[in-house]
Structure 1
Amino acid sequence: MMNKGKFLIVSLIAVVVFFGVVYAGISLTSNLGKSKKQITAENAEAQLDKMYSKIDVAKGKPAKGQIDLNPADLAEELPDINKFPVTVENSTESFVEIFSSPEKTGKGNDSWLNEVGKDYNAAKFQVDGKVVSVKIRSIASGTATDYIKSGKYVPDAFTPSNEFWGEMVKDSGVTAELISKRMVGNVPGLVIKKKKHDQLVDKYGSVNVKTVTDAMAKNEFAMGYTDPFASSTGLNLLLTALNTFDKSNLLGDKAVQGFEQFQSNVPFTASTTLQMREAAKSGALDGFVLEYQTFINSPDLKDSYIFTPFGVRHDSPLYAIGNISDEKKQIIQQFAQFAQEKKYQELGKKNGFNGLESYASEMQTVDGATLSAAQKLWKEKKNANKPIVAVFVADVSGSMNGEPMNRMKESLLKGQKYLGKNNSIGLVTYSDDVTINLPIAPFDTNQQSYFVGAVEGLQANGGTATYDGIVVAMKLLKDEMKKNPDVTPLIFVLSDGETNRGHSLDEIRGLIQAYKVPIYTIGYNANLKALQTISSINEAASINADSDDVVYKIKNLFNVQL
Structure 2
Amino acid sequence: MRKGKFLQGALALTLALTVTACNGSMTSNSTLENALSYDDAVTELNTFVKKIDPKTTTARLDVDMDNASVADSLADISTFDLVLEGSGQINIEIAAPSEFSGSSYPDEWLVAVGKKFNEAGYTVDGQSVSVSIRKISSGETLTYITSGGYQPDLYIPSNEMWGDMLVSSGVSATKLTDRIAGNTAGILMSKDVYNTYKEKYGDVTVDGVLKAAIAGDLVFAYTNPYTSATGMNILCSMLHAFDSSNPLSDSAVDQLVQYQNNAPTAAYTTSILKESAAKGIIDAMVMEEQTYINTPELKDYVYTPAGVRHDHPVYSFGWTDDNELEVANLFVEYCQNSDSQNMAKERGFNLHEDYVSEDYGMSGSDYLSAQKVWKTNKNGTRPTIAVFVTDVSGSMSGTRINALRESLLNTMQYIDSNSYIGLVSYSDKVYINLPIGQFDNKQRAYFSGAVKDLELGGQTATYDAVLVGMKMLIDASEEIPNANLMLFVLSDGAQNAGYELKRITPIVGGLGISVYTIGYEMTESDKKDLQTLSSINEAVCIDASSDDIVNELRNLFNVNM
The two structures have a TM-score, normalised by structure 1, of: 0.89
Conserved in 2, the CA contact under 8 Å of 1:279 and 1:539?
A: no
Q: How does 1:402-481 map to 2 (within 5 A)?
A: 402-481=398-477
The aligned counterpart of 2:79 is 83
Report how far residue 184 of structure 1 moved.
1.0
Report deviation, 1:296.
Answer: 2.0
Query: For residue 550 of structure 2, what is the aligned residue in structure 1?
Result: 551
Shifted more, 115-124 versus 180-189: the winner is: 180-189
Residue 369 of structure 1 deviates from its aligned partner by 0.8
- Superposed, which structure 2 residues align to 1:294-313 within 5 Å? 294-303=291-300, 305-313=301-309
Q: What is the CA distance between 1:520 and its match in structure 2?
A: 1.4
Query: For 1:437 and 1:273, how far apart are their aligned partners in 2?
Result: 38
Cα deviation, residue 67, structure 1: 5.2
Query: Which residue identity lines up with residue 219 of structure 1 in the other structure?
Result: G
**What are the residue-to-residue correspondences of 1:336-415 with 2, within 5 Å?**
336-364=332-360, 366-415=362-411
> Secondary structure in 2 aligned to 1:113?
helix
AA of the residue aligned to 2:397: N
Displacement of 1:374: 0.9
Contact 1:99-1:155 at 8 Å conserved across structures: yes
How far 1:115 sits from its partner (Å)? 0.6
Distance 2:293 2:531 in 1: 28
Residue 188 of structure 1 corresponds to 185
- Quick check: 1:104 aligned with 2:103? no
- Residue of structure 2 in register with 1:121 after alignment: 118
Higher relative contact order (CA 8 A, sep 6+): 2
Distance in 1, matches of 2:35 and 2:407, equals 38
Q: Per-residue deviation at 1:287? A: 2.5
Structure 1 residues 122-161: aligned runs within 5 Å:
122-161=119-158
Summarize the Cα distance change of 1:272–1:512 in structure 2 as closer, same or farther, 3 Å threshold: farther
SS in 1 for 2:388: strand
Contact between 1:225 and 1:289, CA under 8 Å: does it hold in 2?
Answer: yes
2:252 aligns to what? 255
Q: CA deviation at 1:286?
A: 2.2
Q: 1:44 to 1:284 in 2, by over 3 A?
A: farther
State the match for 1:265 in structure 2. Answer: 262
For residues 404 and 37 of structure 1, the distance between their equivalents in structure 2, rounded to whole angstroms, comes to 34
| Structure 1 residue ranges, 4+ long, deviating more than 4 angstroms after superposition | 33-38
- Seen in structure 2, the aligned counterparts of structure 1 residues 454 and 279 have a Cα distance that, compared at 3 Å, is farther
Q: How far did residue 536 of structure 1 move?
A: 2.5
Alpha-carbon distance, 1:302 to partner: 2.2
Contact 2:36 2:507 in 1 (8 A): yes
Whether the 8 Å CA contact 1:523–1:545 is kept in 2: the answer is yes
For the structure 1 residues 195 and 508, does the alpha-carbon distance in structure 2 shift closer, same or farther, using more than 3 Å as the test? Answer: farther
Distance 2:284 2:463 in 1: 33
What pairs with 1:268-307 in structure 2 (closer than 5 Å)? 268-303=265-300, 305-307=301-303
Q: SS in structure 2 opposite 1:310?
A: strand
1:317, distance to aligned residue in structure 2 (A): 1.1
Contiguous gaps of at least 5 residues in structure 2: 1-29
Q: Which residue in the other structure is 1:534 paired with?
A: 533
SS of 2:285's partner is strand
Measured in 1, the distance between the counterparts of 2:240 and 2:274 equals 26
Match of 1:214 among 211, 214, 219: 211
CA-based RMSD of the aligned residues comes to 2.2
Out of 312, 318, 322, the residue aligned to residue 322 of structure 1 is: 318
* Residue-pair matches, total: 528
On the 8 A contact 2:411/2:554 being kept in 1, the answer is yes
- Give the Cα separation in 2 of the matches to 1:53 and 1:519: 21
1:425–1:443 CA contact under 8 A, matched in 2: yes
Pick the aligned partner of 1:43 from 40, 44, 47: 40
- Residues 372, 67 of structure 1: CA spacing in aligned structure 2 closer, same or farther, 3 A cutoff? farther
Stretch of structure 1 that moved more, 468-477 or 55-64: 55-64
Any idea what SS the aligned residue of 1:119 has?
helix
Residue pair 1:434, 1:468 contacting (<8 A) in 2 also: yes
CA distance in 2, matches of 1:274, 1:66: 43
Confirm or deny: 8 A CA contact 2:92 2:130 kept in the other structure.
yes
Residue in structure 2 matched with residue 332 of structure 1 by the alignment: 328
Counterpart position of 2:20: none
Q: 1:73 to 1:401 in 2, by over 3 A?
A: same
**Cα deviations by residue, 1:26-57 (Å, 9 ceiling, x for unpaired):** xxxxxxx9996461234332232233333232
Instruction: Give the distance between the partners of 1:223 and 1:47, measured in 2 at CA.
Output: 36
Check whether the contact 1:164–1:366 (CA below 8 A) recurs between aligned residues: no
1:93, CA displacement in angstroms?
1.1
Distance 2:438 2:297 in 1: 43
Mapped pair 1:66 → 2:63: yes
How far does the alpha carbon of each residue in 1:450-475 deviate from its partner, in whole angstroms, 9 at most, with x for none? 21121111112222122222211111
Instruction: Find the aligned partners of 2:55 and 2:227 in 1 and give their Cα distance.
Output: 40
Tell me the CA shift for residue 224 of structure 1.
Answer: 2.4
Where 1:315 maps in the other structure, the secondary structure is coil
**Counterpart in 1 of 2:8?**
none
Q: Which stretch has the larger CA shift, 251-260 or 46-55? A: 46-55
Distance in 2 (CA, whole Å) between partners of 1:175 and 1:63 is 44
Q: Tell me the percent identity.
A: 43
Which residue is equivalent to 2:223?
A: 226
For residue 208 of structure 1, report the CA deviation from its aligned partner: 1.9
Q: Counterpart of 1:333 in structure 2: which amino acid?
A: N
Q: How does 1:157-172 map to 2 (within 5 A)?
A: 157-172=154-169
Kept in 1: contact 2:236–2:360 (CA 8 A): no
* Secondary structure of 2:460's aligned partner: coil
Q: Distance in 2 between matches of 1:129 and 1:200?
A: 61
Q: Aligned residue for 2:195?
A: 198
TM-score when scaled to structure 2? Answer: 0.89
Residue 560 of structure 1 and its aligned partner are, at CA, apart by 1.4
Q: Provide, for residues 501-525 of structure 1, a one-character-per-residue CA deviation record: whole Å limited to 9, x for no partner.
A: 2223323333333332222111111
Q: Mark the CA change 1:418 to 1:364 in structure 2 (over 3 Å): closer, same or farther.
A: closer
- 1:251–1:365 distance in 2 versus 1, CA, 3 Å: closer
For 1:472, give the aligned amino acid. V
Alpha-carbon deviation of 1:417?
1.6
Q: Distance in 2 between matches of 1:105 and 1:350?
A: 15
Q: In 2 relative to 1, CA 308–511 (structure 1 residues): closer, same or farther, beyond 3 Å?
A: farther
Are 1:508 and 2:507 an aligned pair?
A: no
SS at match of 1:206: coil
Q: Residue 31 of structure 2 contacts residue 509 of structure 2 at CA under 8 Å; is this kept in 1?
A: no
**311-320 or 213-222: which moved more?**
213-222
Distance in 2 (alpha carbons) for counterparts of 1:298 and 1:456: 47
Moved more, 320-329 or 515-524: 320-329
Q: Larger deviation: 36-45 or 344-353?
A: 36-45
- Segments of 5+ residues of structure 1 without an aligned counterpart are 1-32
**CA pair 517-280 structure 1, distance change in 2 beyond 3 A:** farther
Aligned partner (choices 154, 173, 177) of residue 176 of structure 1 = 173
1:50-93 deviation digits (Å, cap 9, x = unpaired) = 333332322222322235364x4233332222222222222311
